[in-house]
Chains A and B, each alone.
Chain A
Amino acid sequence: MNLVENPFKKIAIAVAFSPRCEALLAEAKQLQDKLGAALVFVHIGKKTFHQEQYLKHLIHRFGLDSKNNKIIWEEGETVDTILAVCQNESIDLLVAGALEKENLLKYFLGGVARKLSRKVKCSMLMLTEPNIHPTGFKNIVVEGSDHPKSEYTIAAAIAVGKAYQSASLNIIQETDLSKMALIRHEELKEAEVEAIKEEFVKEEDHKLEAILKCNDYSGLTVCTERIEGKPGYVISKFAREKQADLLVLNSPDKQMNLIDRVFPHDIEFALADLPCNLLIVQETQYTL
């Protein structure tokens, strides 16, 4: 029994008529097949005959013209309009294509996908290299930090991993011990510091064990690993080194803005340079 059987029942695909549009729809088809979700294709911009025909053609080509799916054309400011659609349609997961890395100016100003990821109230999947022949998510890396949101994030990652029959799912416990130096230099002996560290680690391990007990991950190879360093940065680095194809992170606790990009923390490290596809998990009212 899983905490979450299917976290994403209704998925919105942000469609832009870019060269990656076809690949994005191919990925959408796979998402629908694997997760059994209803799809909503959202395009923000003026509806022209040519574009309408092209989108219909693509939808037909990828076998997405089921009655469960629909197309929404809206005009207005791209980010705000997509967010409004997600809200109105009770979307569980928003999918958008995103560049691995944006140039410095665009990063600070915020491209569409990254702006969406900072504001969206549902989960979001950012696809860095959508493929016309989707390869799925074979190696998944998921955040297992000591945070109340991790319980749901891990459950969602397991659900995705099972649906995609992933080869491995790595749960990473990030341990930020930078503040330990604050205490250590005061008056602790080496053994006392080690004991404190051990206590931290043990406490976190117990929590993770409890989370895993609540989930059925049979068929999946689940590994847990602890890495020391800045949360957000070390997990991104790990995902890159392991050539993961999906990184799953908790949604930020509060809305991020420019200051968070100047003084990055947590998810901002991943957004600055996406190591692979990124799934930001948000527990929405619709998924409960």
Chain B
Amino acid sequence: MITLSHHELIKFIVCIGAMLIAARLVGEFFRKFKMPLIVGELIAGILLGPSFLGTYFPEISKWFFNGTGNVGIALNGLTSISVIMLLFVAGMEVELSLIRQQGAVAFKTSLVGLIIPLGLGYFFGRYFYEWFGETNANNILPFSLFMGTAMAVSALPVIARTLMDLGLFRTRIGMIIIAAAMFDDLIGWLLFSVILGLLNKSAGGMDFVYTLGMTLMYAVGMLTVGRFLINKSLPWAEKNFTWPGGFLSISLGLAFLGAAFTEYAGIHAIFGAFIMGIAIGDSVHVTEKTRDIVHQFVTNIFAPLFFISVGLKVNFIMNFDFKIVLIVLVLAISCKLIGAGLGALWGGLSKKEALAVGFGMNARGAMEIILATLALQAHLIGEQLFVAIVVMAIVTSVMAGPMLQFLLNPSVNTLKNAFIDNNTTVQKSE
């Protein structure tokens, strides 16, 4: 068995310590300016990576984060585990019954909000791939499908936080946006797994139809029978194990097993973890406290490690191409505004509210960065496009709040007024 030498082990531990502290310090600095923590975590990675430390202090950078040898392999393994956990937590956030409850408006918003970005992303990826700095036309189908998915995905936590800040979280419009984003995420990750399956096939992996069949079988099986069995066995586990510590071990253990299964089936491990997250998170026995412990554990330890590693992989300064950034940004914003906006209009909302839904759904956040990182690792996209997508994810997340604030001014928002009217009705009856 290969083990890290004494020197390598020290290096590995120092790297993790430095990454966690740097992510927190820079993250907290940006939090002071009302920016999401993830922005700071990414910038910490950029500072420690080839963009800054590697350019100005190459010796230090080489000692710490050269990404080669056993330490590089260990760090790579750690970030792979981090992304599996992140997707597991993202899955736990998806509430299938909420999508069902919100009915036609959420479904229409979600459906059109998914189809139009997918279609436009695919179209531009297929016929204008040079615009994105891509020259290799061999992988054009997976690339164009990836562009479609990248345009369609949304960031649930960013959306939820924005709605909360605006006092819209528990209103009807808030729930519509949340439910639609959940559905988009579900389909988006399913599609991305299929894209990775396509790549796998072209790299001599398992048969694509077999892989697709396994994906669907796993998803349907886990979301029905698996979900049912998990829900039935959790009370037993709660009675017999220490709780919520036992939940943490069991749920993460199942997430890794699910991830291993989908990785074996020729799809990326993240899909297995994501679906397992939905199946576990949907249980009536998972309380807010338990859920929160998993979230805190993953998002304060593994998320910073992953996001900082993004900055360590790529030179953001050298690969920043203003033209590509602008194209990706305009395309991403237009896709979501048109898609989700039209969907909300179709669902019966006013023009202004529909536009607000569009801006709400436009926030891409962490999910987009995870998607882009995996695409970069799979050599599906180049570093310039990767940088452009990361910038787009940050810009769309930061702009969601102010735009919603502007559009959903309580004095003109009929849905919020309807919510307030419920109170008034009660008081009138006194």
The answer on a CB contact under 8 Å between A263 and B100 is yes
Task: List 8 other contacts, CB 8 Å, given A210-B423, A265-B97.
Answer: A177-B288, A179-B95, A179-B160, A179-B178, A180-B292, A185-B296, A186-B158, A186-B299
The answer to whether A187 touches B292 (Cβ under 8 A) is no
A184 and B224 contact, CB distance less than 8 A: no
Within 8 Å of chain B (Cβ to Cβ): is A52? no
Q: A residues near B, CB below 8 A?
A: 3, 146, 148, 151, 177-187, 196, 200, 206-207, 210-211, 213-214, 228-230, 233-234, 253-254, 259-260, 262-266, 269
Q: Which of A228, A254, A262 is B103 in contact with, Cβ under 8 Å?
A: A254
What is the CA–CA distance of A66 and B281 in the complex, to the nearest angstrom? 55
Contact B97 A187 (CB under 8 A): no
**Do residues A182 and B156 form an inter-chain contact, with CB atoms below 8 A?**
yes
Q: Classify chain B's interface size.
A: 35 or more
CB neighbours of B427 from chain A (8 A): 210
A180 and B288 form a contact (CB under 8 A):
yes
Chain A residues contacting B92 (CB-CB under 8 Å) are 181
Q: B426: CB under 8 A from chain A?
A: yes
6 A-B contact pairs sorted by A residue (CB < 8 Å): A182-B160, A183-B157, A183-B164, A186-B37, A210-B426, A265-B98
User: Across the interface, which residues of A come within 8 angstroms of B284, CB to CB?
Assistant: 229-230, 233-234, 269
Contact of B224 among A229, A262, A265 (CB under 8 A): A262
Partner of A259, one of B100, B281, B426, B430: B100
Distance (Å) between the CB of B430 and the closest chain A CB?
5
| A-B complex: 4 closest residue pairs judged by Cβ atoms | A265-B97, A185-B295, A185-B299, A177-B288
Known contacts A183-B161, A207-B423; is A228 also within 8 Å of B287 by CB? Answer: yes
User: Are the CB atoms of A151 and B100 closer together than 8 Å?
Assistant: no
| CB pair A182 B170 closer than 8 Å | no
In the complex, the answer to whether B430 meets A181 with C-beta atoms within 8 Å is: no
Residues of B within 8 A of A207 (CB): 422-423, 426
Choose among A200, A228, A263 the residue that contacts B97 (Cβ–Cβ < 8 A): A263
A259 to B103 alpha-carbon distance, docked (Å): 12
Is B5 at the interface (CB under 8 A from chain A)? Answer: no
Chain A residues near B161: list those with CB within 8 A: 182-183, 186-187
| Contact pick for A211, options B31, B170, B292, B426, CB 8 Å | B426
Interface of A is mostly: helix
Question: Please, which residue of chain A has its CB at the minimum distance from the CB of B31?
Answer: A187
Residues of A within 8 Å of B11, CB to CB, are: none
A183 vs B287: C-alpha distance when bound (angstroms): 15
Give Cα A207–Cα B428 distance, bound, in whole angstroms: 12
For residue A155, give the distance in angstroms from its CB to the closest CB of chain B: 10
B300, CB-defined interface residue at 8 Å: yes
Residues of B within 8 A of A200 (CB): 170
Across the interface, name the chain A residue whose C-beta is closest to B297.
A185
Q: Which residues of chain B in 407-430 are interfacial with respect to chain A, using CB atoms and an 8 Å cutoff?
A: 422-423, 425-427, 429-430
Which residues of A have CB within 8 Å of B36?
186-187
Q: Which residue of A lies closest to B283 (CB)?
A: A230
Q: Which residue of B lies closest to A182 (CB)?
A: B160
Bound-complex Cα distance A86 to B155 (A) = 47
With A186-B37, A186-B157, A196-B164 known as contacts, the answer to whether A178 contacts B426 (CB < 8 A) is no
In the complex, what residues of A have CB within 8 A of residue B96's CB?
Answer: 263
Bound state CA distance, A135 and B120, in angstroms? Answer: 65
Chain B residues lying within 8 Å of A148, measured Cβ to Cβ, are 422, 425
The answer for the CA separation of A184 and B60 in the assembled complex, in Å, is 36
Residues of B close to A206: CB separation below 8 A: 423
Roughly how many angstroms separate A181 CA and B288 CA in the complex, as a whole number? Answer: 7
Q: Are B97 and A151 in contact (CB under 8 A)?
A: no
Residue of A nearest to B293 (CB): A181
Residues of the A chain whose Cβ atoms lie less than 8 Å from the Cβ of B158: 186
Of B300, B422, B423, which is within 8 A of A185 by CB?
B300
Q: Given A3-B429, A187-B31 in contact, is the A182-B100 Cβ separation under 8 Å?
A: no
Residues 251-288 of B contacting A (Cβ, < 8 Å): 281-282, 284, 286-288
Min CB distance B268 to A, Å, is 23
Which single member of A178, A185, A210, A211 contacts B157 (CB below 8 Å)? A185
Q: Is the CB of A213 within 8 A of B430?
A: yes
Complex Cα spacing A182 to B294, Å: 11
Tell me which residues from 379 to 425 in chain B have a Cβ below 8 Å from any Cβ of chain A.
422-423, 425
Q: Is B291 an interface residue (CB 8 A)?
A: yes
Bound form: Cα–Cα A109–B16 in Å: 54
Let me know if A178 and B295 touch, CB within 8 A.
Answer: no
Q: What is the distance, in angstroms, from A256's C-beta to the closest C-beta of chain B?
A: 10
Q: Are A182 and B93 neighbours in the complex by a CB distance under 8 Å?
A: yes
Interface centre among B169, B288, B296, B425 (most CB of A within 10 A): B288
Is B136 part of the binding interface, using a Cβ–Cβ cutoff of 8 Å? Answer: no
Tell whether, in the assembled complex, residue A184 and residue B156 are in contact, meaning their CB atoms are under 8 Å apart: no
Q: Is the CB of B430 within 8 A of A210?
A: yes
B139 on interface, CB distance cutoff 8 Å:
no
Q: A182-B93, A186-B157 are in contact. Are A229 and B287 (CB under 8 A)?
A: yes
- Identify the closest chain A residue to B426 (Cβ): A210
Q: Are A214 and B224 in contact (CB under 8 A)?
A: no
Once the chains are docked, how many angstroms separate the CA of A262 from the CA of B95? 13
- For B249, list chain A residues within 8 Å (CB): none
Q: Is the CB of B37 within 8 A of A214?
A: no
> Does B68 belong to the interface (CB within 8 Å)?
no
Q: Does B101 contact A (CB under 8 A)?
A: yes
Least CB separation from B165: chain A residue: A183
| Cα(A230)–Cα(B93), bound, Å | 14
Whether A181 and B100, one on each chain, are in contact in the complex, defined by CB atoms closer than 8 angstroms, is: no
Q: What separation, in Å, do the CA atoms of A200 and B164 have in the docked complex?
A: 11
